[in-house]
Amino acid sequence: MGEAEQQIQSVWTREPQRSRRRDQPALSRDQIVSEALALLDEEGMEALSMRKLGTRLGAGATSLYTHVANKEELMELITDAVFGELDPLVVGSEGWRAAMLAFSHDLRAMMLRHPWLSSALGEMGLLYLAPNMLRLNESVLTLLEDAGFPPDDADTAVTVIFSFVIGLALSEAAAAITIRRSGLDEVEWYRKLMPAAEIAARPYPTLHRRYINFDEKTAGPDVDLHRMRTGAFDIQINRILDGLDPEFRAGR
């Protein structure tokens, strides 16, 4: 088997392609990624194609292949660009925990700004090789080790926090896509859904009580579901940080 056949297929495992045509208009990888990201944010995953992206850029689809081998490589670049929106962690006077809490909220907010990520991340098997993800991981690990975490505990903390925040945000983003497609706002959508959900949950009394409680919380005219979700997330991530905190665990 030749070297080309053995190569792992990813934009992060090969050298960038070089243009063979000098008459092509100047088009950078950054321009392609920026326009593709705008298209995804506007219209979602189903709208992205190399042909449509080329039209938006005023270039033929084939000219895009100078920079990416295929749509899958383009998605790797776009996904890493989104993670580039997150700033490296900085420890302030309140310590590592406050920095991790702020980072967790920023990570969740980034995921919700780009709901198409709920479809894309499951296919990003080599995302950990992407430069912005490497930068973030380095930042978080350095912060934790500087705070006194042994390397193994720092690795565990990174895995737990990323897995929880991204997993929860994916679920929220998927719901947001469903609501957007319905043409309703979030409160209207839940109010229309809840009667059917409440009936479906009646055979399950413990679960049913939660549907009733949620219905009561959202009955008023000034309900703010975004604030409710953010408040719940804050409680949840603080519980996780409790479990990771060496001082908290030592005092148990």
Please give the structure tokens belonging to residue 243: 């479990």
Per-residue pLDDT tens digits for 39-78: 999 998 889 999 899 999 988 777 788 888 888 889 999 9
Phi, psi of 6 (to 5 degrees): -85, -15
Alpha carbon distance 228, 210 (integer Å): 15
| pLDDT value for 1 | 45
Alpha carbon distance 115, 94 (integer Å): 32
Q: Which long-range contacts (CB under 8 A, 24 or more apart) does 227-231 make?
A: 229/172, 230/105
Cβ–Cβ < 8 Å for 91, 44: no
| pLDDT value for 103 | 94
Q: Show the low-confidence residues of the chain (pLDDT under 70).
A: 1-7, 15-26, 125, 248-252
Cβ–Cβ < 8 Å for 43, 1: no
> Which pTM was predicted?
0.84
CA-based nearest residue to 117, from 35, 174, 72: 174
Cβ–Cβ < 8 Å for 51, 33: no
Per-residue pLDDT tens digits for 82-103: 999 998 887 777 889 999 999 9
Please give the structure tokens belonging to residue 73: 């490589």
- Domain locations in the chain as residue ranges: 3-82, 96-183+222-250
Compute, in degrees rounded to 10, the torsion defined by CA atoms 139, 143, 146, 152: -80
Q: Tell me how far apart the terminal alpha carbons of the chain are, to the nearest angstrom.
A: 57
Compute, in degrees rounded to 10, the torsion defined by CA atoms 7, 9, 12, 16: 80
| pLDDT value for 155 | 95
CATH number of the 3-82 domain? 1.10.10.60
Q: Which residue has the tokens 């719901």?
A: 175
| pLDDT value for 5 | 54
